[in-house]
Structure 1
Amino acid sequence: MIRTGLSLFLFGILSPQVLSAAAPTRPRLVVGIVVDQMRYDYLTRFAEAFGEEGFKRLQREGTQFRSMHYNYVPTSTGPGHAAIWSGAYPAVSGIANNEFFDRELGREVYCVEDDSVSSVGTTAADGQRSPHRLLVTTVGDELKLATNERAQVIAISLKDRASVLPGGHFADAAYWMDVTSGRFVTSSYYAKSLPDWVQAYNEGGRVAELAATPWTLRDAAATYTESLPDDNPFEEPLPGETAPVFPHDIARAIALSSEGDKDHFKPFATSPWGNVAVRELAQAALEHTTLGRDDVPDVLAVSFSSTDYIGHRFGPTSLEVEDTYRRLDDDLAQLLDTIDRTVGLEHTVVFLTSDHGVAFNSAFLRSRGMASARTLNKKTFRTGVEKALTAHYPSVSAASWVLADYKGNVVLDRPAIRAAGEELEEVSEFLRDYLLEQDGVIDVVTAAELAESAAHDGYRALMRRGTHAIRSGDVLTLFTPGSVFGYDRGGASHSQPFSYDTHAPFLISGPGIAAGAEIYERVAITQIAPTISALLKINEPAGAFEGPLPIFER
């Protein structure tokens, strides 16, 4: 019944069952949980070690989608969080990547940096953040508008972009961790000072206590059957370690960087303790604010980022990743219990998804016989592009034409090319033809080709939706599956249009949502925001184009 309803839904036909379905009760609270870098298959690979009150509780009490995918590329943290909460592709949201070239400023910018605001809770620049580069509204924004700003919207994460972008333009608060000090902070965009409950967490010494705790395996080593041996060549050790093996001394790794250094607390984030801190601050928000306490709905956006830091360093075949998800399952159980105790899960919609997946380490894939998986070098790629341009256009310094490149996406200096008497389209096409001859490249497309083309099938459709007219590159390169830039020694990365990066878990539970249901049809990440908007009975965010998901009880 659910499968049939979904098929009809996707073709724009409302079945009688959908028309007659009882409207769910409007929730008092929406808690959106994003797990950074969570591949879909972690939900199944690690399931035997999960308890009954974390991931499995959401599966048991709600609906799970087995084929939720990102419908654009690049698959990165900034665009992912923007898409989840706005329903907009990067081509519309303006969050073209975590970093992108701002042609007006003439430099690369970070997606949430804002030097017009001040840091609150820190003296570091990590606090100078706002959503001013987000060009669309979010679910929280629309809820604030629909309730004459009576609704509360709070976002919490270790990463600033994973807090600021979900919160949107009108959020009451967004908190993230300043990695120079290990404190949760915000910016003057949201408030002049931290509230007492955040200040109390910062001053309570909890982060220092967690950091002093060695990271050991949660369970007996013999139970970790989904990982390679602890000491293998496809991982990167933490600072001060000679090998990437348990136990990990987080405090020592922190001590090896100078206090006040921009990455001083990065080792803390690269451990499960970062997830614990985010969970505890989210619990504090539920306990010390009035979230969900009346009939005006509120939003709490929670993003767990340590999974991404750990995944990048150790990769998806590591004991570290497997142990992290076992511990995250414990965190979810405690967070769900707090929601139930403070607001009541019967009044709360909870969803869980991820902002992108991750590729296996390319050297690991080659060691297993996948010779086409390349380990790509950013410097070599850039040098090759510049040499090719210089050879073809000897009268100019072609190196000055390349403003930036990000994982194969090349940003050209359009005014400089015009000043040299050349056409941007011709230069882009030359560069496309050059790159198509390079080892490991399977496709190259110019921005002009994408803009002028009708809808494509396959990965070109993803590239079109992810390419912003001003903020994306002029030439976009696609490499063979399993290929990544960097990580030539160990670790893993993401950003490609292939299933290992696009396939995300999606679990949702709450009043009126079918319990224990599984849906296998392919659906899109940009349907989440319209779904939550429908549950809240508010307007969809401005940049949302997809329809909501069929999640209601029949």
Structure 2
Amino acid sequence: MYTFKLNSQFIKAMGIALLIGNTALAQKTGKVNPNQEKAPKLVVGIVVDQMRWDYLERFAPLFKSNGGFKRMMNQGFSNDNCQIGYTPSVTACGHTGIYTGTVPAVHGITGNAWYDALLKRTVYCSEDRTVEGVGAKGASDGKMSPRNMLTTSIADELRMATNFKSKVIGVAIKDRGAILPAGHSANGAYWFDAKSGNFITSTYYYKELPEWVAKFNNRQVPDSLSKLGWNKSLADQLYLQYATADEKIYEGKPFGANQTKLPYDLSRKENEGFSKVVGSPWGNTLTAEMAKAAVLAEELGKDAITDMLAVSFSSPDYVGHSFGPNSWEVVDNYIKLDEELGKFFEFLDATVGKGKYTAFLSADHAVAHVPGFMKENKLPGGTLDDKAAMDEMNKAIKNKFGIDKAVVSLYNYQVHYNRDLLDSVNADKKAINQFMVNYLMKKDYILNAFPTSEILTTPMPQYLREKVANGFLYNRSGDIQMILKSGYIDGSATGTTHGLWYSYDAHIPLLWYGFGIKQGRSGKRVYMHDIAATVASLLKIQEPSGNIGHPIEEALK
């Protein structure tokens, strides 16, 4: 015993001597900074609503050297093969997946909306009938909260890890883009009410709008932006290097029937609202200005405790839906978004400090080309009218089985039965399922169809099987899964959409920048649900409760 104590004391003494010596040497040579920060002061999550990965490469010559995209790509890390690991690839699922590190089968957000078998009605992803809107009179869009999300987010985990001393703020035009990323325990989430021109919140967060938000609304930024119009960034011949002609019959007309090409008049009539602003690149400016106001007012990144800002740029989705990936409008939107992001990073450099914050940029989903564009270029594609399709399905089931209105929804490319009705008439569900599969397989738009109860046994590639299974939650999903053919969308003769498993909808950008991030790029396949685990690894905190992702170690120092 005595010898052991002597040896322990001797070893301890030697260790202290070596530590003192090494510390003195390190300080003398400058190899160790005793004041080196162990975590970023602020994590900034940027989600671009509807961004294909290939935009980074296609439009790269148009991005400015001081813009946001080149800063992140040249000074940060790019995961060039980031995929969405589930279907449907839609906004609410994407925002939730990025911040929870998991998939709809676990976090519960199975679409922007879904038919809920327990409630027997359609449910919007962030609806909450127990709360009220705050910030605009009669703001029905304010009845929102994250309660439908079943797991924690990385923002929640940061709050818990710091004993709720970290601040978390969510900002977006769309309510779901602000609410779901910020998590259950956020200090605030703010979204735009296009009718009033105000950013609003709900009583889930505050009974009254915080003073700084009211002051921002009083600046009447949307009104000023609407007067500027949407003008071109480039000469016409440059647009033609990246897109088809400016006027196409298969493009939408969101700014009025007489406005068919750039530039666009965004002015509004009295009491018209501000939908034209949010449907243009100026919506990105509005979002960035609100995010800057949040950083200043909430003093994000001002102390040693890491804060988080979740920002979603919703306007690219509105532009993309109307005009499609090969339009002048989408090219122009990304030129202007690049500039906006560059200014935003300069603001963060000045307020938080360059190298003292970490930013990531990804997308909630990508997008398909407009079917009219596909047809014009002899590429596969077409449309499905879901309302007409549902009417036809109900008629077919009634003729065969005598059951009226058996199908209640085609949400998220799934056929949802009225399960209570089928139970009440003691219907042969197996026979109905087989009938529906046979019926669907004769349709031009269908690649495959099968009962969702047979996801694990239906012949299909494993990669596709996993995506379908990852998107399925019994009471929030349907009974028959439809897999549309490549290039087909649920839509009309103009514009486009997203939601499928194909690469054009599911291959998204993932850029990292700032504190703790290496410089480089990788073509290794990673997933959207790896983002939260990577942030958790960087911050050395617990990953979200339903996390299935893995840290992207090659991006971290």
Q: Same fold by TM (over 0.5)?
A: yes
1:231 to 244, 247, 258: 247
Q: For the residues of structure 2 that align with 1:239 and 1:294, how far apart are their CA atoms?
A: 45
What letter is aligned with 2:51?
A: M
Q: For the residues of structure 1 that align with 2:536 and 2:348, how far apart are their CA atoms?
A: 20
Q: For the residues of structure 2 that align with 1:499 and 1:282, how far apart are their CA atoms?
A: 31
Structure 2 match to 1:267: 276
Contact 2:89 2:364 in 1 (8 A): yes
- Give the CA deviation at 1:427: 2.2
Pair 1:505-2:509 in alignment:
yes
Larger deviation, residues 190-199 vs 47-56: 190-199
Contact 1:62 1:513 in 2 (8 A): yes
What letter is aligned with 1:25?
A: K
Q: For the residues of structure 1 that align with 2:78 and 2:208, how far apart are their CA atoms?
A: 39
Q: What are the Cα deviations for residues 373-419 of structure 1, in whole angstroms up to 9, with x where unaligned?
A: 1111122211221122112202x32x2x1111125311101121111
Pair 1:419-2:436 in alignment:
no
2:142 to 121, 127, 140: 127
Structure 2 match to 1:28: 41
Contact 1:487 1:493 in 2 (8 A): no
Structure 1 match to 2:392: 384
Pair 1:542-2:545 in alignment:
yes
- Give the CA deviation at 1:439: 1.6
Q: 1:144 to 1:136 in 2, by over 3 A?
A: same
TM-score normalised by structure 2 residue count: 0.90
What letter is aligned with 1:99?
A: A
Structure 2 match to 1:447: 452
CA RMSD of aligned residues (A): 1.8
Pair 1:521-2:524 in alignment:
yes
Structure 2 match to 1:114: 128
Q: What are the Cα deviations for residues 442-467 of structure 1, in whole angstroms up to 9, with x where unaligned?
A: 11121111267799613222111011
What letter is aligned with 1:104?
A: L
Q: Tell me, what secondary structure is at the counterpart of 1:26?
A: coil
Q: How many residues align?
A: 519
Q: For the residues of structure 1 that align with 2:274 and 2:205, how far apart are their CA atoms?
A: 24
Q: For the residues of structure 2 that align with 1:511 and 1:124, how far apart are their CA atoms?
A: 39
1:141 to 146, 156, 163: 156
Q: For the residues of structure 2 that align with 1:553 and 1:508, how far apart are their CA atoms?
A: 9
List 4+ stretches of structure 1 deviating above 4 A.
451-456
Q: What are the Cα deviations for residues 54-76 of structure 1, in whole angstroms up to 9, with x where unaligned?
A: 10001112110110000100000
Q: Tell me, what secondary structure is at the counterpart of 2:234?
A: coil
Pair 1:460-2:458 in alignment:
no
1:393 to 397, 401, 410: 401
Contact 2:288 2:340 in 1 (8 A): yes
Q: For the residues of structure 2 that align with 1:414 and 1:281, how far apart are their CA atoms?
A: 45
- Give the CA deviation at 1:197: 2.1
Q: For the residues of structure 2 that align with 1:24 and 1:369, how far apart are their CA atoms?
A: 56
Q: What are the Cα deviations for residues 7-44 of structure 1, in whole angstroms up to 9, with x where unaligned?
A: xxxxxxxxxxxxxxxx9932111000000000111111
- Give the CA deviation at 1:141: 0.5
Q: Tell me, what secondary structure is at the counterpart of 2:170?
A: strand
TM-score normalised by structure 1 residue count: 0.91
Q: Tell me, what secondary structure is at the counterpart of 1:346?
A: coil
Identify unmatched segments of 5+ residues in structure 1: 1-22
What letter is aligned with 1:259?
A: N
Q: Tell me, what secondary structure is at the counterpart of 2:475?
A: coil
Q: 1:323 to 1:266 in 2, by over 3 A?
A: same
Contact 1:425 1:448 in 2 (8 A): no
Q: For the residues of structure 2 that align with 1:196 and 1:349, how far apart are their CA atoms?
A: 28
Structure 1 match to 2:18: none
Contact 1:234 1:315 in 2 (8 A): no
Structure 2 match to 1:19: none
What letter is aligned with 1:336?
A: F
Structure 1 segment 2-151 matched on structure 2, within 5 A: 25-53=38-66, 54-122=68-136, 123-151=138-166
Q: For the residues of structure 2 that align with 1:521 and 1:550, how far apart are their CA atoms?
A: 12
Q: For the residues of structure 2 that align with 1:415 and 1:430, how far apart are their CA atoms?
A: 19
What letter is aligned with 2:73?
A: Q
Q: For the residues of structure 1 that align with 2:175 and 2:112, how far apart are their CA atoms?
A: 11
Pair 1:435-2:440 in alignment:
yes
Structure 2 match to 1:209: 224
Identify unmatched segments of 5+ residues in structure 2: 1-35
Contact 1:291 1:298 in 2 (8 A): yes
Structure 1 segment 143-542 matched on structure 2, within 5 A: 143-224=158-239, 225-251=241-267, 254-255=268-269, 259=271, 264-370=273-379, 372-394=380-402, 396-397=403-404, 399=405, 401-406=406-411, 408-450=413-455, 457-488=462-493, 490-515=494-519, 517-542=520-545
Q: For the residues of structure 1 that align with 2:330 and 2:179, how far apart are their CA atoms?
A: 26
Q: For the residues of structure 2 that align with 1:408 and 1:353, how far apart are their CA atoms?
A: 24
Q: Tell me, what secondary structure is at the counterpart of 2:389?
A: helix
What letter is aligned with 1:222?
A: Q
- Give the CA deviation at 1:238: 2.5
Larger deviation, residues 169-178 vs 23-32: 23-32
Contact 1:166 1:301 in 2 (8 A): yes
What letter is aligned with 2:271?
A: E
Structure 2 match to 1:13: none
Q: For the residues of structure 1 that align with 2:181 and 2:145, how far apart are their CA atoms?
A: 11
Q: For the residues of structure 2 that align with 1:299 and 1:552, how far apart are their CA atoms?
A: 19
Contact 2:118 2:475 in 1 (8 A): no
Q: For the residues of structure 2 that align with 1:342 and 1:455, how far apart are their CA atoms?
A: 52
Q: What are the Cα deviations for residues 295-348 of structure 1, in whole angstroms up to 9, with x where unaligned?
A: 111100000000000100111111111000000001100110111111113111
Q: 1:94 to 1:456 in 2, by over 3 A?
A: farther
